[in-house]
Structure 1
């Protein structure tokens, strides 16, 4: 990841995250359940996850390189139930940091231009046996997959902060060395709606010990 400036998307996302559906909030809680120790959260956005970290987490270091979202995330950290430090640094700047017990990615891997280097960096900052929790837009099959391809090739990434909806995220995780331990798909909108972001992948990838 690199420093970003998407003021239009940042404003849109600030409004959307303030009116998040109960279904998406439930998925966030599920994605964070059972975490403990030190956690690196990548692309924290407005800090929507912070309220849902379990008490066993000793520290969250949250990365958010978009300036407007960073300010919102810092405000959310002040009322979080666990200690949260929010930084505008990029993931690459954690290369020499103490390894983390877990990494959390929520609706962020779809936004990076080159996922493979970012996933390799996330693999490197984890302790052996550490886990990456993900809640992400992913590639769908059939007509929705074709819709995603068209959206990604035209206006969708420009409007939504670089989001690419047709990403093979789980395959990318295994290619850099992760083992997928738990994975499932969840629809958050009716399947008949012609939107490219109705299907989410939720899961846990582990760095082999």
Structure 2
């Protein structure tokens, strides 16, 4: 199955993300992709918010998105991207790509919502060449007991409202334990507002062992 339909979320997300971009999200995406090069696979590309930030050293982007409304918007943005971008249906847990066929894989605010993040990471590792980079920008589990409790309670209902998103996942720990060596990682709060269960974020680069 390559289509996962979240029609309400798909309508709202581009508007919500536009507001987040003005608060600093656009700079985070630029940081994520700085100095990327070669052939890139982006999973969960959404409506294509990353496309404008790919540097010219990137020769091709294959962008996978399972939500059809978001995928259509991504295809429209791909036509205006500064590098060649092809948008395809698909899910991160079952990638239609050859082994070791990409130099870089990009996971941007998506591992929170895939059904099986450990399997998705195994697939990303499979399609990366040895020494290839996984670049990730994700919100993750908090670092204090109070935050974690708040996130667990939020996850009772949040995934049903936000396209399957979970706010309490240990995504950074799973990356480090999935056959990758973390080269750089920056942890930060964004947006740093009181009562935001999704504020703990990481941006990092991990290399396929």
Please state which band the TM-score falls in when normalised by the shorter chain: over 0.9
The alignment status of 1:36 with 2:34, answered yes or no, reads no
CA distance in 1, matches of 2:59, 2:97: 21
Per mean C-alpha deviation after superposition, the further-off stretch among 136-145 and 116-125 is 136-145
Q: What does 1:115-154 correspond to in 2, within 5 Å? A: 115-142=117-144, 143-152=146-155, 154=156
Counterpart in the other structure of 2:13: 13
CA contact (8 A) 1:102 1:126 kept: yes
Deviation at 1:190, TM superposition (A): 2.7
Deviation at 1:16, TM superposition (A): 1.5
Counterpart in the other structure of 2:67: 66
Q: What does 1:1-209 correspond to in 2, within 5 Å? A: 3-19=3-19, 20-91=21-92, 92-96=94-98, 99-142=101-144, 143-152=146-155, 154-191=156-193, 193-208=194-209
Structure 1 spans left out of the alignment, 5+ residues: none
Deviation per CA, 1:154-194: give whole Å up to 9, x if none.
Answer: 21000001111111112111222111110111222235x11
Computed over aligned residues only, the root mean square deviation of the Cα atoms, in angstroms, reads 1.5
Deviation per CA, 1:12-68: give whole Å up to 9, x if none.
Answer: 102113333241110000000010000000101110000000000000000011010
Structure 2 spans left out of the alignment, 5+ residues: none
Deviation at 1:113, TM superposition (A): 1.9
Instruction: List structure 1 runs of 4+ shifted beyond 2 angstroms.
Output: 17-22, 93-98
Deviation at 1:198, TM superposition (A): 1.3
Per mean C-alpha deviation after superposition, the further-off stretch among 61-70 and 11-20 is 11-20
Q: Give TM-score, length-normalised by structure 2.
A: 0.94
Per mean C-alpha deviation after superposition, the further-off stretch among 90-99 and 24-33 is 90-99
User: Which secondary structure does the structure 1 equivalent of 2:166 belong to?
Assistant: coil
Deviation at 1:89, TM superposition (A): 2.4
CA distance in 1, matches of 2:183, 2:118: 19
